[in-house]
Structure 1
Amino acid sequence: MKWFLQLDKSLRQYLLVTFNYWNFTVTDGALRMLVVLYFYQLGYSPLNIALLFLFYEIFGVITNLVGGWLGARIGLNRTMNIGLAMQVIALLLLTVPSEWLTIPWVMMAQALSGIAKDLNKMSAKSAIKTLIPHNQQGKLYHWVAVLTGSKNALKGAGFFIGGLLLTLVGFQIALLIMAVVLAAVFILSLMFLEGDLGIAKTKPKFSQMFSKSGPVNILSAARLFLFASRDVWFVVALPIYLVSIFGWSHSIVGAFLAAWVIAYGIVQGFAPKITAYFSKEGTTPDGKSAMFWCLLLAVVTGVLAIGIELEWQVQWMITIGLLIFGAIFAVNSSLHSYLIISYAKQDGVSLDVGFYYMANAMGRLVGTVLSGWVYQAYGFAACLWIAFAFLVITSVISLKLPVQKSDVNNLNK
C-alpha cells in the first residue's frame, strides 16, 4: 500500500477509478450472461428475455442524462460509489428463491443494475478528462483506449465467469459471490477515492443536462446507431442461437462470448496504434477517421448477413466472421470514446459525457429489444441486416463530425 500512496496523485486516482471500473465490469458481464442463460433454461422466449433487460437499458438512458449533471455537482467519486453500492443491491435482489424471480422482480433488479452501470461508466470516463492536461490529446487518446479496452476485456471475462458459475454453483450462489466481492471494492473506494474529482466550478442547472455542443450532439447520434448495430444481434439473439442451433452448453457459450469480448477489449487498447497506421503521421483521429472505420464495419456486416442468409459455412461465419466484426467495432468504439472526451468541455466534463452515454444507452435499448423480437420473428440473418442498416446510418451521420484537428482543439475554448 505504501508504494501506491507514493505515486503521483493523478496516476493514483486514475488507477483507483480503473480498479473500480474493472471490478464492476466483471460483475456486469457475468450478470448479463447469467440472466440470459438461466431464464432461457427456465423456458423464457427470446423476446421475454429481451424484456428482462428493458428497464436496464431504459434507466441507463435516464441515468446518463441525469448522472452527468449529478457528477458535475457532487463529484465523480460520489457518483461512482453510488453505482458500486447499487450494483451490490441489484445482485442481492436476484439471490432470492427462484419462485420469487418473476418478470417484474427481475426487471426491477435490472433497473438498479442499469443505473449502477451507467453511473460507474460515466464517472470513470469523465474522470480521465480531469486528470489529463488539455494540450496532451495523444496521451488522452491512449488513456481512454486503455481504460475502454481493459474494461471490455474484463466484461468478456465476466461472460465466461457467469456461464461457468451457472454451471458450477447455480444462479443464486453465483450472484451472492459477486455481491460480496463488489462490496469489498465499494469499501476500498470510499476510503481512497478523492472527493473533489470532476466537480464543476459553477454548479450546473438541471436544464443544462442537454448538450449544446454541435460535435457532441452529432457524435451522440452516431453512437446511438453504432451500438444498436451491435446489440441487435449480440445481446439476446447470439447466445440463444448458439444454444438452440449449435447445441452448445452454457459454459461453452460463455467461453465463446468471453473470447469475443476479450479480443474486442484488447483491440480497443491498441486502437491508437491501429488508427495511427492509417492516418497521417502525428495526427490524432477526427470525424473522417470515424466515418472510414464505420464504413469498413458496414461492409463486413453486410458480408456476414449474406453468408448467414445463404447458410454458407454457418459455424465458420459465426465464429470467425463475428471476431472480425468485433475487432473493427472495437476500433470504432475506441475512436468514439476518445472523441467525446476530446469534444467535452473541461469544466463540468460529465455533462457532455453523460449526454453522449445517454445516446449510447438509447442505442443499446433499441438493439436489445430488436434483438429478441427480430430473432424470434425472422431469425439471426435478419438481425445482421438491421445491424448493416444501422451502420450505414452511422456512417452518414459521421460525415458531419469535425475533420480538422484545429476544430477539436477549439471546442473547449
Structure 2
Amino acid sequence: MLTDGALRMLVLLHFHTLGFSPVQLAYLFVLYEIAGVVTNLCAGWIAARFGLTSTLYAGLGLQVAALLALAQLDPAWSITASVVFVMAVQGASGVAKDLAKMSSKSAVKLLAPSAQGGLFRWVALLTGSKNAVKGLGFLLGAGLLALAGFVPSVLGMAAVLALILLAVVLRMPTGLPVGRKDAKFREVFSKNANVNWLSAARVVLFGARDVWFVVGIPIYFYAVLSDGSEAGNRAAFFLIGSFMAVWTILYGAVQGWAPRLLRADTRPEADLVRAARGWALALTGVPLVLAALVWAAGAPADWLTVALVAGLLVFGAIFAINSSLHSYLILSFTTGARVTMDVGFYYMANAAGRLLGTLLSGLTYQLGGVALCLATAGVMVGLSALAAGKLRAG
C-alpha cells in the first residue's frame, strides 16, 4: 500500500508538470481501475481454487514488476505513447494491489476471534492501518519526486517491495485455505441480496470520493499553490502530498476507531445495518456545502483553500466510518465457504466505484472545475445512502 500510494502521486504530479490535461491525467488511471474491477471479480475465484497465499504472493511480485517497467519510461516518447505505456503499467499495478488486498481482507474472516465485536475490531484495524500506510505513500511519492526525481524513486520502491515480498514468504502464518479444485467461476456472483445492495452502495460511495480526490483537488491545489517556478513546483508537490497523506492517514485512523465510536461490542447487527444508511446521509451534505462555497467565491482565495482543506478532512472522517461499516458488513453477511467469492465481488464493486470516480474526476474538473467535482460527489453519496437503506439484518 505504501508503494501504491507513492506511485499514484508520482504519476499524477510528474505528468501534470509535463502538460497533461485533467482528462489525460484521468486516463492514466483508467486501466488501473478497470484492472481492479476484473481482478476483484476473478480474485475471489482464484483464491478459492488456488489458496489465499498464492494470490498474496502474486500481488506483491506483480507490483515489483510494474515498478521496474515504469522506470523504463522514455521522456522522448510522444504523449500518446507515454499515456498508453503508463496506462498499461498502472493496470498491472492495479491487479497487484487488489490481489494483495482481497487476500488480506478474506483472511480476517477466517482468523478473527469469534467474540461479539471481534470481527469488526480486526476489520477496522486492518483497513485503517492499510489506509494510513497508503497516506504515507502519498507523502513519500511527492517527496521522492521533488528530491530524487521520477526514475530513481520508482527503482527504490521496487527494491524495498522486493525485500517485503521475501519477508512475507518467509513469515507467512499457517492455517489459511489452500484452495479447492471444484470452485466454479459462476459462484462469484452472489445470490445474497445484502451482498448485492452493499456492493451497489460501495460503487457510488467510492465514486464520490475519487471524483474529487484523483484529479480535481490535486490539480486545483497545484494551480493555487505553485507560481510555475521550479522552487514553486517543489513546494506545491510537498504541500499537495502532505494534504493527501494527512487526509488518508486521518481516514485510516478513524476507520480503526470506528468500532468504539459505533459501540460494536454491545450493539446488535441490526443497529449497525441501519447505521450504514444514517452515516451515508450525514456525509451527503459535506461535498454539497463545499461546492456551494466554491461557486460563491468565484475565484481561488486563501479563505476558500482553508475551507476546502477543513471540509475535506470532515468528509474523510465521516467517509471512514461509512467505509468501515461496509467492510465489516460484507464479512458479516458472507459465510466461511463463500468468503473469498463475496469479498472479491464486493471489492470489484469498490474498484468499479473508483473507476467511475476517476473518469468523472477529469471530466467534471474540465467542465466545471472543482465545484462540479464536489457537487457530483454529493449526489453519489446520496445514492449510496439509498442503496444502504435496502440492507436487512440476518
Name the TM-score class by shorter chain: over 0.9
Contact between 1:132 and 1:139, CA under 8 Å: does it hold in 2? yes
Which residue number in structure 2 is paired with residue 95 of structure 1? 71
Which residue number in structure 2 is paired with residue 151 of structure 1? 130
Q: What is the TM-score normalised by the length of structure 1?
A: 0.88
**Aligned-residue offset at 1:196:** 5.5
Measured against aligned partners, the alpha-carbon deviations of 1:162-194 in whole angstroms (never above 9, x if no partner) come to: 000000000110010100000011112222225
Distance in 1, matches of 2:104 and 2:42, equals 16
**Aligned-residue offset at 1:221:** 0.3
Distance in 1, matches of 2:350 and 2:212, equals 16
Which residue number in structure 2 is paired with residue 367 of structure 1? 357
- Please list, as runs of the form range in 1=range in 2, the aligned pairs for 1:132-143 lying within 5 A after superposition: 132-133=112-113, 135-143=114-122
Distance in 2, matches of 1:200 and 1:58, equals 26
Given the alignment of the two structures, is residue 251 of structure 1 paired with residue 238 of structure 2, yes or no? yes
Equivalent residue in structure 1 for 2:51, among 75, 84, 95: 75
* Residues 182, 378 of structure 1: alpha-carbon distance in 2 compared, 3 angstrom cutoff: same
Measured against aligned partners, the alpha-carbon deviations of 1:33-69 in whole angstroms (never above 9, x if no partner) come to: 0000000011100100100101000010000000010
Equivalent residue in structure 1 for 2:296, among 307, 310, 326: 310
Contact between 1:59 and 1:111, CA under 8 Å: does it hold in 2? yes
Given the alignment of the two structures, is residue 400 of structure 1 paired with residue 390 of structure 2, yes or no? yes
Distance in 2, matches of 1:192 and 1:350, equals 22
Contact between 2:117 and 2:265, CA under 8 Å: does it hold in 1? no
Given the alignment of the two structures, is residue 37 of structure 1 paired with residue 13 of structure 2, yes or no? yes
Question: Per the alignment, in what secondary structure is the counterpart of residue 379 of structure 1?
Answer: helix
Which residue number in structure 1 is paired with residue 96 of structure 2? 116
Amino acid across the alignment from 1:299:
G
Which residue number in structure 2 is paired with residue 274 of structure 1? 261
Unaligned runs of 5+ in 1: 1-24, 408-413
**Aligned-residue offset at 1:246:** 3.3
Question: Per the alignment, in what secondary structure is the counterpart of residue 53 of structure 1?
Answer: helix
Unaligned runs of 5+ in 2: 227-234
Equivalent residue in structure 1 for 2:184, among 200, 205, 208: 205
Which residue number in structure 1 is paired with residue 280 of structure 2? 294
Amino acid across the alignment from 1:385:
A
Which residue number in structure 1 is paired with residue 313 of structure 2? 323
Measured against aligned partners, the alpha-carbon deviations of 1:60-82 in whole angstroms (never above 9, x if no partner) come to: 00000000100111111110110
Q: What is the TM-score normalised by the length of structure 2?
A: 0.92
**Aligned-residue offset at 1:209:** 1.6
Amino acid across the alignment from 2:295:
E
| Structure 1 outlier segments of 4+, above 6 Å | none
> Would you say how many aligned residue pairs link Structure 1 and Structure 2?
377
**Aligned-residue offset at 1:270:** 0.2
Which residue number in structure 2 is paired with residue 217 of structure 1? 196
Distance in 2, matches of 1:335 and 1:199, equals 29
Which residue number in structure 2 is paired with residue 11 of structure 1? none
Contact between 1:198 and 1:350, CA under 8 Å: does it hold in 2? no
Q: Once the two structures are aligned, what percentage of the paired residues are identical?
A: 48
Amino acid across the alignment from 1:283:
P
Distance in 1, matches of 2:360 and 2:148, equals 32
Measured against aligned partners, the alpha-carbon deviations of 1:104-125 in whole angstroms (never above 9, x if no partner) come to: 1111100100100110110110
Which residue number in structure 1 is paired with residue 268 of structure 2? 283
Contact between 2:117 and 2:266, CA under 8 Å: does it hold in 1? no
Question: Per the alignment, in what secondary structure is the counterpart of residue 133 of structure 2?
Answer: helix
**Aligned-residue offset at 1:195:** 6.5
**Aligned-residue offset at 1:314:** 1.1
* Residues 337, 364 of structure 1: alpha-carbon distance in 2 compared, 3 angstrom cutoff: same
Measured against aligned partners, the alpha-carbon deviations of 1:206-256 in whole angstroms (never above 9, x if no partner) come to: 111211211100100000000000000001111111001333611111011
RMSD: 1.7
Which residue number in structure 1 is paired with residue 167 of structure 2? 188
Contact between 1:308 and 1:317, CA under 8 Å: does it hold in 2? no
Contact between 1:59 and 1:115, CA under 8 Å: does it hold in 2? yes
Question: Per the alignment, in what secondary structure is the counterpart of residue 249 of structure 1?
Answer: helix
Distance in 2, matches of 1:191 and 1:74, equals 19
Contact between 2:35 and 2:91, CA under 8 Å: does it hold in 1? yes
Question: Per the alignment, in what secondary structure is the counterpart of residue 391 of structure 2?
Answer: coil
Distance in 1, matches of 2:266 and 2:171, equals 40
**Aligned-residue offset at 1:202:** 6.9
**Aligned-residue offset at 1:136:** 2.7
Contact between 2:204 and 2:383, CA under 8 Å: does it hold in 1? yes
Contact between 1:76 and 1:199, CA under 8 Å: does it hold in 2? yes
Contact between 1:78 and 1:195, CA under 8 Å: does it hold in 2? no
Distance in 1, matches of 2:6 and 2:39, equals 21
Question: Per the alignment, in what secondary structure is the counterpart of residue 204 of structure 1?
Answer: coil
Which residue number in structure 2 is paired with residue 378 of structure 1? 368
Contact between 1:83 and 1:119, CA under 8 Å: does it hold in 2? yes
Given the alignment of the two structures, is residue 167 of structure 1 paired with residue 153 of structure 2, yes or no? no
Amino acid across the alignment from 2:208:
S
